[in-house]
Amino acid sequence: MKFDTVIIGGGLSGMLAGITLQKAGQSTAIVSTGQNALHFFSGCFKSLKEPDQRILELFGEAGVRLHYNPGVWLTPLGNFKEAALALEDIDIFPSPKFARKVLVVNFLGYHDFFSSFLAEGLEKQGMSCRVRFLNLPELEKLAQSPSEMRSVQIARIMDHLWEKVVQEVRVLLKDEDAVVLPQVFGLQDAAVPNRIRQGIPAHVVFAGTMPPSVPGIRTLFLLKQRYQLLGGTYLMGDEVVRAHTHEGVVHSVATRNFDNHYLEADNFILSTGGYFSKGLVSNPFQVVEPVFGLDVDYKEDRNQWYNPSFKEDQPYMHFGVKADEKLRALKDGQPLENLYVTGSVLGDTRPDFGFAAGQAIRTAIFAADQILKKA
Amino acid sequence: MNANEFDVIIIGGGITGAGTQRDCAMRGLRTLLIERSDIATGATGRNHGLLHSGARYAVNDPESAEECIKENMILRRIASHCIDETDGLFITLPEDDLGYQQTFVDACRHAGIGAEIIDPDLARRLEPSVNPELIGAVKVPDGSVDPFRLCAANMLDAKLRGGQVRLQTEVTGFIREGDTIKGVHTHNHQTGEDVDYYAPVTVNACGIWGQHMAELAGVKVGMYPAKGALLIFAHRVNNVVINRCRKPSNADILVPGDTVCVIGTTSTRIPFEECDHVAVTPDEVTLLITEGAKLAPSLSSTRILRAYAGVRPLVSADDDPTGRNISRGIVCLDHETRDGLKGFITITGGKLMTYRLMAEIATDAVCRKLGVDKVCQTAEIPLPGSEEKSYEAVAQKIWENPTTAQKAAAARLGTRASRIRTGNKRDDALICECEEVSVGEINAAIDRLEVSTLTDLRRRTRVGMGTCQGEFCACRAAALLAKAHGCVERERKDLEDFLQERWKGNFPIGWGDTLREAEYTQWVYKQVLGL
């Protein structure tokens, strides 16, 4: 199988690179193992501090509406952190005191939404708070198996039950000017959260839950849909096992499912993520990039990988694949002609592109542009 | 009678202190246990959790071996819900001297330990994970014991018998009149309160911190801190304890416990200042993995969950000022006869296995001082929870058709599992999915087992001990604690402390899947949850 570009890794970065290239008329394939950082996405792009029209458009065309509003967002544990760009149903407030009185609504028996922490955090900012629990018989089904009361399962039910939630909240509401609800609405699009907002006569804030993140999974779904509508080939649940490289040029890769059918391409993008996604693999002696054996920037002395304090910055999280100024991967100190590296597999080797989701987006667009420039 | 007056005050919430409180309470004394942090935070909770048969000591220390096998048999009866009767193997590898095997077996039999030489083939069948290259094997009645559970059950029984417990409370000084200790000054780290407690006898059961406590009382006890490092693997690789049949050495015991297994240990003399903050070094990790893989080769490719270390409270023999003659035996010092200080006893040395005997010896001494003539019954009366032998039978009795989570609770709590609120969806919801701990079990622990922090809760319920190391359950459990204690702010700090405590055991082995999990936890708590 021959493509213009093959992208290894189907997370935020790989997907945006794929969309950008498909839009420009390329034929591309994405090889995805299935798990990626969008499953635990907060909904805010913390390192994107400028309103970049191109980024807003890329997402908007996929049905993911973003809003740019420098300020603070409410974390699931009731703290406020800086942000500028977020998904449409995630609020960014000019200052932490976003209301006078707040009603925090949780579901009875749901342990992944930290209503007491939220209430305490809001009270600390001078907002008076009431916490109430909705006892919905429709959720009883989930409670049958004690480990199923989780965000995604609730969100599936909420696609049909949101109107009832609106009614229940209307009944609970007294003179509060804001209502905080868990982010368990809208797995496939943002229509449900928007309708909830329209239905409740107070400002509705959706606060995060324990992963998986419903807004994150929605974003993933919409981007994937957009990529496929543009004609991209998304190979789900597959994994690159071998790469064929000759004289500094990558010719093809073999995947687990298509072992004998090599995926050939003019260009390749590596967006396999950090340790969790196995883009970087560590053993007691080194940190390696497992697909191509690329150069990884890391400390040889393992004692320098960690800070013994959990809350401090951890050096190992900065390790990553080395790339040249065009984001071409380095192997044995030399750039590979047609292999570009994007997203968190870069670690902190290119701080100029930001970190986390911001890094994923910027490096994806940059690498796609490099490829398109060549043609 | 003043509420702050007791017959006996026991300082130290390790297994020795908890066992001594139980024994004293069973003999009708009004008891108070004081512990500066939580139960089982010292050497009690930082060892293999091996129910020694005594075989390890048979050749070099026959006295300890005899004590071990006797206590081994007693604990099987009185603490069945804390014990897993796995049996043990002492294997000879090609690099070991097979001639040692006979010496070992003779010594075992002499000490009363049932040791049986078995064919290496049979050993491989009994324990498929064992190094297949073994050339000799001896089967002994080793087992595994959960020290947290054992300690909690002793404390609970003491309370059921009227004993009082003050955790998070530090003894800051002694109330002394002339040559007699009359009581203690304490400071509660949580409430900030300073309270004095009075009793005619005070027992120092502080393990390695006993030297400091004795100093505070004005007497000298020479102790020698010896650090032992251990690793926990994420799977229960073996079902039978595996030991090396040779002179005791580093990393030659692999013990299965609950869902995991533990390899250890090392032995390093450390300065006293380090006792509160023992850390595992990379060299120790390497040694433990290398030696451990000789017992069970699959360990070299098994994910390591944690590294931890404890400090053995070794005591120098009393008449040996040089400290060369260090004993692992039980040391009970009556400071009246020894130093002319009345009303003060130190019980130390010994090991987890012999805690009950230590408690008996200490309680005998307390009773002598108080003129109480009651016999010890701790060897006969089971601990609360241990009235039934099989956890499956326990679960069956309580729930008829128990779920796996309910069976897990019965295995942890024994018959006390009947106290868990259950049978409705809210209480049966799982908080910790790795170890299958329900809302009901957590609330029962908070109400009945003196839990003030997430780390305390972990010791009582195994919350956060599983493969995710608290990634998902910590937050959920924190919300339950916040509700129970009515304080969210304290719980925020507690959550941070808990994650720090987990990280402390993770980073010394931070590579492979452990590092993946750590990266995820870092990400979730800092970026997503915004702690």
**What DSSP string describes A17-68?**
HHHHHHHTT--EEEEE-S--GGGG--SEETT--S--HHHHHHHHHTT--EEE
pLDDT by residue (tens digit) across B166-221? 999 999 999 999 999 999 999 999 899 999 999 999 999 999 999 999 999 999 99
Q: Which of B433, B483, B530 sits opposite A79 (nearest CB)?
A: B530
Nearest-Cα distance to chain B for A278, in Å, is 8
Of the candidates A206, A174, A183, the one whose C-alpha atom is nearest the C-alpha of residue A93 is: A206
Q: Which of B286, B426, B475 sits opposite A109 (nearest CB)?
A: B426
pLDDT at B465: 87
Q: Which of B428, B503, B516 sits opposite A146 (nearest CB)?
A: B428
pLDDT in tens, chain A (375 residues): 899 999 999 999 999 999 999 999 999 999 999 889 999 999 998 888 888 899 999 999 999 999 999 999 999 999 999 999 999 999 999 999 999 999 999 999 899 999 999 999 999 999 999 999 999 999 888 877 767 889 999 999 999 999 999 999 999 999 999 999 999 999 999 999 999 999 999 999 999 999 999 999 999 999 999 999 999 999 999 999 999 999 999 999 999 988 778 999 999 999 999 999 999 999 989 999 999 999 999 999 998 999 999 999 999 999 999 999 999 999 999 999 999 999 999 999 999 998 889 999 999 999 999 999 987
Partnered with residue B310 across adjacent β-strands are B228
Of the candidates B13, B11, B14, the one whose C-alpha atom is nearest the C-alpha of residue B312 is: B14
CA distances from B402 to B397, B434, B469 (A): 9, 18, 26
What CA–CA distance (Å, rounded) separates B330 from A183?
58
Res. B107: pLDDT tops 70: yes
CB B11 within 8 A of CB B204: yes
What CA–CA distance (Å, rounded) separates A185 from A191?
9
Sheet of A178-182: strand order equals A128-134, A101-107, A178-182, A203-207
CB A164 within 8 A of CB A105: no
Residue pointed to by tokens 């990988």: A305
Q: Do B482 and A282 touch (CB under 8 A)?
A: no
What CA–CA distance (Å, rounded) separates B531 from B528?
8
Residue pointed to by tokens 């910590």: B474
- Residues of B with CB below 8 A from A144's CB? 425
Q: Do A111 and B476 touch (CB under 8 A)?
A: yes
**What DSSP string describes B296-356?**
-GGGGGSPEEEEEEEEEEEEE-TT-TTS-SEE-SEEEEEHHHHHS-BTEEEEEES-GGGHH
Residue pointed to by tokens 């202190």: B17
Strands (E), A175-310: 178-182, 203-207, 233-236, 240-246, 249-255, 263-270, 281-282, 287-288, 296-297
**What DSSP string describes B52-93?**
--SGGGTTT-HHHHHHHHHHHHHHHHH-GGGEE---EEEEE-
| Amino acid at residue number A305 | W
Whole-prediction pTM value? Answer: 0.91
CB atoms within 10 A of CB A292: 21
pLDDT by residue (tens digit) across B109-165? 999 999 999 999 999 999 999 999 999 999 999 999 999 999 999 999 999 999 999
The number of residues making up chain A comes to: 375
- Residues of A with CB below 8 A from B483's CB? 116
Q: What confidence tier does B328 reach under pLDDT thresholds 50, 70, 90?
A: low
What CA–CA distance (Å, rounded) separates A206 from A216?
13
What CA–CA distance (Å, rounded) separates A292 from A338?
13
Q: What is the CA angle B199-B200-B206, rounded to 5?
A: 70
Q: Do B479 and A117 touch (CB under 8 A)?
A: yes
Q: Do B530 and A42 touch (CB under 8 A)?
A: yes
The string over B159-177, giving b where at least 16 C-beta atoms fall within 10 Å of a residue's C-beta and e elsewhere, is: bebebbbbbbbbbeebbbe
What CA–CA distance (Å, rounded) separates B272 from B521?
33
What CA–CA distance (Å, rounded) separates B187 from A224?
60
Of the candidates B153, B152, B150, B162, the one whose C-alpha atom is nearest the C-alpha of residue B24 is: B162
Q: Do B500 and A309 touch (CB under 8 A)?
A: yes
Q: Is the dihedral of CA B1, B7, B10, B15 positive or negative?
A: negative
**Which two three-digit tokens encode residue A144?**
């049958």
Residues 5-34 of A with CB under 8 A from B: none
With the CA atoms of B432, B436, B440 and B444 taken in that order, what torsion angle do they form, in degrees rounded to the nearest 10?
Answer: -90
What CA–CA distance (Å, rounded) separates A253 from A238?
12
**What DSSP string describes B197-263?**
EE-SEEEE--GGGHHHHHHHHT----EEEEEEEEEEESS---SSEEEESSS--TT-EEEEETTEEEE
What CA–CA distance (Å, rounded) separates B25 from B172?
25
pLDDT at B178: 95
Contact status of A135 with chain B (Cβ, < 8 Å): no
Q: What confidence tier does B1 reach under pLDDT thresholds 50, 70, 90?
A: low
Contact status of B104 with chain A (Cβ, < 8 Å): no
pLDDT at B323: 44
Structure ipTM? 0.93
Cβ-Cβ contacts under 8 Å for A255 (sequence gap 6 or more): A31, A235, A238, A239, A240, A241, A263
What CA–CA distance (Å, rounded) separates A15 from B46?
48
Q: Do B511 and A284 touch (CB under 8 A)?
A: yes
With the CA atoms of B201, B203, B204 and B206 taken in that order, what torsion angle do they form, in degrees rounded to the nearest 10?
Answer: -150
pLDDT by residue (tens digit) across B459-517? 999 898 888 888 888 999 999 999 999 999 999 999 999 999 999 999 999 999 999 99
Nearest-Cα distance to chain B for A317, in Å, is 7
**Which two three-digit tokens encode residue A168?**
């229940």
Q: Do A278 and B516 touch (CB under 8 A)?
A: yes
Q: Do A210 and B431 touch (CB under 8 A)?
A: no
CA distances from A316 to B239, B306, B349, B385 (A): 35, 18, 42, 45
